[in-house]
């Protein structure tokens, strides 16, 4: 791992406290993308520790989206009827400073043993309503291609599964891991494999990352993008547009824009829901529909994800509707299906 210290205030003691509480790691690839002369560098802000992480607000939680309450066996989170998370590992090549699982991942965090993995896959096999398995963690693409292929083979043997989804940051934070062998492991699946890439800023799409993404796409792996709305990183129409254009230009469809979760020590990244809705409204109509993700909130306590984007249609007392266009003008709409 590369050098990770960056403390514009010289508060080395505070940074050591951060590192004692939360995992810190930055790949040499990412270190090379950081502009040390820019105190607002969006790559540094995402990955380098900050003394602000020591501030915990009353509403922040150790398990902000309620994974624990929906974990029937080790490695499984089963919150929705037709899909389940399989947390294959608890380590990542890098650690995002805003991560909602920051209390559960990092060096020393145990991944699934062989027995636990078998029990987790058996749980999936015993629940025929599960149509989609989401490999997450940690970052599942940190495992070797051989091990990933073995896990995929076990999932392929479950008849009721239709899709294997993989959530990863690896193509943009450690693109050298996307080898031919890794692409072949994903390509080997009999089930459809979809990869959701987590990226938050257009500058993450450097040449090495673009090459890694191309390798996956050309291996037949469809890709979606997910991002987190982060103050000081992408909380402007220009930054979001550049990010989503970078995705689409690399054949990745923006899927989710997550409202920041209430993880401990992340208040300095937080944008209000109102601000997020305003940003999404400023994208609609002005930029290609391909660039429009769903803005979502994962309700604290394990109650699931819901869209929280701006509303464009409002019902009226007389049964008609008032619809706002992308430029803020209102129009009457008489819905003939209700007449």
By annotation, the residues acting in catalysis are 79-80, 83, 92, 96, 99, 101, 261, 298, 305
At 146, list the tokens: 């051989």
The answer to whether residues 69 and 302 touch, using CB atoms and an 8 Å cutoff, is: yes
Tell me which DSSP letter residue 56 carries: -
Burial call 295-332: b when 16+ CB within 10 Å, e when fewer = bbbbeeebeebeebbeeeeeeeeeeebeebeeeeeeee
Q: Long-range CB contacts (< 8 A, 24+ apart) of 79-84?
A: 79/302, 79/304, 80/304, 81/129, 82/129, 82/130, 82/131, 82/132, 83/130, 83/131, 83/132, 83/133, 83/134, 83/165, 84/123, 84/124, 84/127, 84/130, 84/132, 84/133, 84/134
The answer to whether residues 71 and 77 touch, using CB atoms and an 8 Å cutoff, is: yes
């Amino acid at each position: 791992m590369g050098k990770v210290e960056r403390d514009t205030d010289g508060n080395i003691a505070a940074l050591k406290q951060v590192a004692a509480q939360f995992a810190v790691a930055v790949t040499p690839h990412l270190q090379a993308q950081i502009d040390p002369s820019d105190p607002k560098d969006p790559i540094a802000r995402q990955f380098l520790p900050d003394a602000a992480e020591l501030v915990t607000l009353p509403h922040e939680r150790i398990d902000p989206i309620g994974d624990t309450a929906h974990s029937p066996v080790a490695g499984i989170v089963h919150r929705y009827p037709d899909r389940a998370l399989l947390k294959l590992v608890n380590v990542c090549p890098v650690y995002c400073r805003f991560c909602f699982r920051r209390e559960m991942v990092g060096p020393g965090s145990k991944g699934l043993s062989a027995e636990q993995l078998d029990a987790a896959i058996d749980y999936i096999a015993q629940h025929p309503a599960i149509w989609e398995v989401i490999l997450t963690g940690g970052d599942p693409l940190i495992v070797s291609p051989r091990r990933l292929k073995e896990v995929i083979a076990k999932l392929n043997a479950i008849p009721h599964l239709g899709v294997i989804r993989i959530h990863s940051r690896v193509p943009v934070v450690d693109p050298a891991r996307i080898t031919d062998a890794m692409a072949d492991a994903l390509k080997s699946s009999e089930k459809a494999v979809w990869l959701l890439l987590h990226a938050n800023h257009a500058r993450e799409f450097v040449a090495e990352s673009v090459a890694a993404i191309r390798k996956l796409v050309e291996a037949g792996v469809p890709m979606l993008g997910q991002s987190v709305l982060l103050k000081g990183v992408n909380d402007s129409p220009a930054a979001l547009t550049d990010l989503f254009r970078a995705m689409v230009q690399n054949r990745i469809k923006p899927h989710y824009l997550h409202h920041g979760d209430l993880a401990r020590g992340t208040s300095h990244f937080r944008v209000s829901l109102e601000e997020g809705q305003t940003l999404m409204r400023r994208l609609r109509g002005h930029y290609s529909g391909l660039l429009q993700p769903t803005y979502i909130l994962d309700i604290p306590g394990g109650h699931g994800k819901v869209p929280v984007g701006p509303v464009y249609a409002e019902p009226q007392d007389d049964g008609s509707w008032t619809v706002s266009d992308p430029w803020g003008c209102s129009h009457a709409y008489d819905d003939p299906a209700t007449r």
